[in-house]
Chain A
Amino acid sequence: MSVRCALLGLLAQRPRHGYELHAAFEALVGGAENWDVSPAQVYSTLARLKEAGLVREEGLEQEGGPEKVIHAITPAGRRELEAWFSTPVRAEHQRDEFFVKLMLCLATGEVDPMTVIYAQRASLYQELHAVTTQRARADPRSELAHILLLDQAAMHLEADLRWLDMVEARLDEVRRQPLPEPQPRPRGRPRRAR
């Protein structure tokens, strides 16, 4: 979904052909190493956008090579893009694999939860170390956007690390409390999906 919106946004900037679109996206996310989207993916997304009437073909470009189709955004596409801009991106923190792992570890008693925490922490630090290393290498005069992106990653990692510290500090309390169990439900009622 966000690749779709990103392509719409790039077309809103100006009409582009498929290859150009792919290059622009890569530049936007700071290189293929950060978010590797294949040209095929770009073309298939473009096809879907055309189907939905958000993008239309505007003409051909031919400079000695094979001819390229130029794509442009439609008014419907602009409306879609506007809607995307006005909707905040939801972070889905509840769906955290580590949390599930930790709870299960507590429930089963198979492994010391500390080991889980430490392993996670070491991994997070490793990530943070990598991010900071990369960030230190970036040139703030020309690669600020990239730096901001790395900062975002670093801050998420920091937040995770702080949260881990908190879990570590309060683990004993958590242990003393009963684990979340499914509530016994009265029969006959239909199960309501969340």
Chain B
Amino acid sequence: MSYYIRLALRYLWGRKLRTILTTLAIAFGTMLIFGMNGLVPAVEAAYRQQLMQAASQVDLTITGETRSSFPETALEVVRGTPGVAHASGSLVRPVVVPPADAPLLPDGSRLGTIVLSGIDPETAPQVRRFEVVSGRLLQPGDRNVLVVSESLARKASLEPGDRLRLPSATGVATFEIVGVIAGEPGAVSDEVYTPLPVAQALLNQPGRINTIEALVVPGSDARAVREAALARLGSGFKLGENQVGSELQAAVEMGEVAFNLFGVLTLAMGGFIIFNTFRTVVVERRRDIGMLRAVGASRRAVIGLILTESLLQGVVGTAAGLCGGYFLALGMGAIVGPIWSQALRLSLGGPVFKPATYVLAIGLGIGVTLVAGLWPAVSAGRVTPLEALRPAEGEASWKPARRRAAFGLALVVVAVLGLASGNLNLASLGAVLFLAGLVLVGPVLVRPIAGVFGRLLELVLAQEGRIAEGNLARQPGRAAITASAMTIGLAILVALGGMTTSLESGLFRYIDQSLGADYLLMPHSMVLGGGNVGAGPELAEAVRSVPGIAEVTTVRLAMGRIGDTDVQTIGIDPESYPRVAGLEFSAGEPEEAFAALAEGRALIANGIFSAQSRLQVGEELTLQTPEGPKTYRVAGIGMDFLNAKLATVYVSQENLARDLHETSDILLMADRAADADPAEVRAQLERIVAQYPAFSLLSGDEMREEYKQMYGMAMRLLHLLMVTLAIPSLIALMNTLGINVLERTREIGVLRAVGSTRRQVQRMIVGESLLLSALGTAFGLLGGLWLGYVLVGALNATGFKMSYFFPYSGIVLAVAVGLVFGVIAALLPARRAARLDLLAALRYE
């Protein structure tokens, strides 16, 4: 076996450039997949560690079905249930510590999000065991005091006697730490405990709790008790604790899928290039292979040899990809981390590479090379020993079989279904299938298309053009596979181009729309549900009273549930909101929709939610609230930038207060009067915000710029990625043109012998290459445009509403690149063809 490896290595070494570039394609794909899948768990871990509540060791945990709070009276209901020994109510919410007041962490960042639990000092110890590490537990009558978990205390170097400032509905409150308790086994969250009434005041939820924990009487059937308690409570409650941050996780997962899509496409491209390269290799080495067979290599040995070669590339490429992926994850973490901790108040750990990630990346990297090498390897195995003796006709025959074309068409159809499924995983599979189908269908279309382009080419290169065209039409299969290298490359480029352009323009429009206000009083965490503490009406009043402020509108947030979907329910003021901010409507009339919100129980759904639930304007929905089910009518479908990724509905603040008991403002937007002095207004606002550490003041312009820059950078990265992807497709084209020359050595010799000059031969090859790349470009453009359109559609289907943006500049670039590549790729083979020793070529067999 070592001999095979040596032989394979020698062959690979014999064409270093090709080998390196082919391997690079695999490395890129693996890098993307591995890196992204390593980064995502880090993000998830950040959530889990900082936002998830500890799993309680109690017998019974009841929360509101919609994750919203409920009146304390429910506690009495639970206590009255037979079999319940003790019960205690608490109000648990993640809270973002204002950066200015947050304690420093060892790594230099500041403490971000913590979980605040308002507990009843009397009943809580009855249901949960609190083990004091230092200081004391909470006592009845405590006011602004905190007990912190041991993990947090260690992390932020807190000890009894320290002070911690937390945001409150009325600004900020200072707490004294009185004790440190051991977390429950397995609990990793940064939790702080304060007396329930204090928490209720802090979070503007007087008389409300969101979690009931209880122990059952020893010996009784815990399950029966749970069900009895739930039954007594009526609708609106569920068992189990709230999963804070699950909605964020969904957003992260979507990012993961998107990057996986890129990775899969890159790998598909790499696979195709490997396929292409080895097809060339098998043609080039036909006689070698025949000889091997003649001197006693079995069919399996030959297949093994080719597979060993592709496997070697796969292994090296994958290994390089893993290293690259590790650094990619590290680098991305370093770039994204600060943005995250700033925008979301979450600190990001290092990349986490789970065994499954290794399996995925290695499996895909090596799997793709193996699969891609399989067909050429099998065709190499079919080379008979006679090929060694027979003059090589050297045709990689790939006749335009109808059956193959039909199969290709079927693939395309399946691909379309996958793309239309609305599932991004299926869509990425569909994209790959689509490209494969395109390659299979290609040969049937070569002749007509070559005819059209051939006529164009004849205008430039009269004689050589005709010969070039003839060559293509005679070997449509070969032409198609050559062009398909181009097709695949360009299709991926154009598709990605279309996708990124659409993403970019979509994002920018959202940013403009939803951050249209002159001033924003933003919570520290960008995602509204992510632990921000709202403000009471006093803040809005204060802002409104600033001279020079023309208009103020506020946004409130509660969690509701419609059907099986948890939805962010955003309360807006239907009158002022459209004047200051606004939504991007995809269905329904803005005026009517906002008017409907003002009139009664109506809502505006965002794209992601309407896509998930296939909503129609005018449809009636049942919103689960603590007050029981309420019927809302869909008045329109629209979305803003901040809530693009989560299922969200907009209702009037009036209804939000009535049905979901949420009255605190979580985001304020204000417009300046036309004649006001910006500096003066800003100074005033800053003074107000200073009292509300949970908020920071941003000017809309600054904000927009900041975001646009951030996304611009991400987009530039994507563009860079696309360019790197283009290089391997150049190689593929060069490879196939190389075979072209090789297969026709003798023919070229004859052309030279009957009087073609070197220049003419060169022009013929270049002309052929131009035709091929024109063909490939045409296919690639069509395929890519369509693919991009469908991918955008697939993204839309998952909820990120954006319209397909036609990548004009990308197309111009693609055409230019296609033709330039065509010429560049032809130069080397053309030179080789022209330099052919005439006699040797004629003798070539």
- State if A and B touch, Cβ cutoff 8 Å: no
